[in-house]
Structure 1
């Protein structure tokens, strides 16, 4: 069976007007939101290559989405990036069900982006090869319970990972000056807190004890923090290269999102020492 055959057999209830033709599988889709209400009606087409790879995009009729928008995960040419490696061949019924679920989530996110002018942070993924680095960062963050602050840094430019990063040495990619304060603003906690703990929460307003910032070399999470900074520095570099390639091909900002690297000349540029 072909990828489209598997997808056709696994089509969910929120898909209608399925029609298989020369250009692929055309249909209308309105998946349910978490509230239970349906999304807008999207007119879509799934095409398949000779190798079984699939691509989904809006059809030629009524369009609800930009033709290309990296922040909305719409590739040059209009195909959707619904998850990492989402163009791989569909090799069975279960992958087909998973693919449809991912498409449904993608369209729900598109309605969210249309309303809020930003992609849901928990569903955000870096572009191109930068996505692999993000997944490594998330693995570190999940082990430490830092997922929210890591994602806020990457995609909202908030917190210690969202601004200017500590400098890296060109030859070794190591952070300079281990005696600098911990970039996460960790500080020493007084009694009755653990003497060697690492915290960022603040004491009550009537606390007058000293809370010295931990030095990076004394932070119990030093290795993880330095690895996150190194990965984020490289992720930004790859993200910048991705944006440059779009500009080179004359793609411009569609204006539908609050932040777009195509409209940001700096694009998070970082200096190295």
Structure 2
């Protein structure tokens, strides 16, 4: 509890509006049932344990019945808590009514994705959720893509942007090559974090007459940061899965790196 704020009390006040019934409360925890309406019209019940930690309220299934106890691909942490949002950048502090409503909306959306994941055997949101420390680089890549505009935000969300680190060669500086599908767009010098060819036309528009990249707003910087962020995102994702290699797989998700 922060000051006079009562996060669990705020959540309790809004529970009924989201089809939830509080069963018990003993600070800092609260147990509730929530009815979720699936896309096929069927109603399913979850029993959730919420825990307050300085106005940041986590949630997990009371017992792992509908969901696995742990599954990185379904964004369920090793302690069973739900990774509903990236806490380092966008964490919900339940300190007023609006925040409580946002928390409930986020939980319902998360559980709805879980129901779809159970049916599909994969995470249903086309916009990939990065894992662990990779999330900060996903956020950086997203911001850079938005700054560039044009096709970049959608291509990033669809996983069509890839980056390759060129091999070190005598007399050549370390370089990243960014591609859309198989088409090379531009290269970035890693040590200087700048686009290798600032004279090339900027990619922020498809018009025939385009400014050079280096003279078009802050797009040269955004392009360099996008490539770097994608590269670091990939590194951190691989590190995340390497650290979890010894963990058992729930075997519910196709293509999970833990499944052997």
Note whether the superposition's TM-score is higher than 0.5. yes
When the two chains are superposed, the root-mean-square deviation of aligned CA atoms in Å is 3.2
> Residue 253 of structure 1: which of 240, 249, 253 is its match?
249
Q: CA deviation at 1:56?
A: 0.6
Q: Does 1:220 align with 2:202?
A: yes
CA distance in 1, matches of 2:11, 2:258: 34
Q: Which residue of the other structure, out of 90, 112, 135, is the alignment partner of 2:116?
A: 112
After superposition, give the CA deviation of every residue in 1:47-91 in whole Å (9 maximum; x if it has no partner): 223x3432110113x611111111111001100011122765411
Seen in structure 2, the aligned counterparts of structure 1 residues 95 and 168 have a Cα distance that, compared at 3 Å, is farther
Summarize the Cα distance change of 1:102–1:124 in structure 2 as closer, same or farther, 3 Å threshold.
farther
Structure 1 segments of 4 or more deviating over 6 A? none
What is the alpha-carbon distance in structure 1 between the residues aligned to residue 165 and residue 242 of structure 2? 24
- The counterpart of 2:144, out of the listed 106, 116, 140, is 140
Contact 1:56 1:80 in 2 (8 A): yes
CA separation of 1:13/1:226 partners in 2, compared to 1, >3 Å: closer, same or farther?
same
Instruction: Assess, with a 3 A threshold, how the Cα gap between structure 1 residues 15 and 166 changes in structure 2: closer, same or farther.
Output: same
Structure 1 segment 147-226 matched on structure 2, within 5 A? 147-153=153-159, 159-161=160-162, 165-167=164-166, 174-175=174-175, 183-184=179-180, 185-186=182-183, 217=197, 218=200, 220-221=202-203, 223=220, 225-226=223-224
Residues 6 and 90 in structure 1, CA contact (< 8 A), matched pair in contact too: yes
Question: For the residues of structure 2 that align with 1:38 and 1:168, how far apart are their CA atoms?
Answer: 54
Aligned counterpart for 1:25 among listed residues 22, 30, 33: 30
Distance of 2:173 and 2:225 partners within structure 1: 10
Question: As a proportion of its length, which structure holds more strand?
Answer: 2
Distance 1:173 1:129, change over 3 A: farther
CA distance in 2, matches of 1:38, 1:92: 32
SS of match in other structure, 2:239 = helix
Q: Deviations over 1:205-264 (max 9, x none)?
A: xxxxxxxxxxx84453374555333211101111122223323xx422211111223237
Aligned match for 1:243, one of 237, 241, 245: 241
Query: Corresponding residue for 1:262?
Result: 258
Report the Cα distance in structure 2 between the residues aligned to 1:258 and 1:39, rounded to whole angstroms: 26
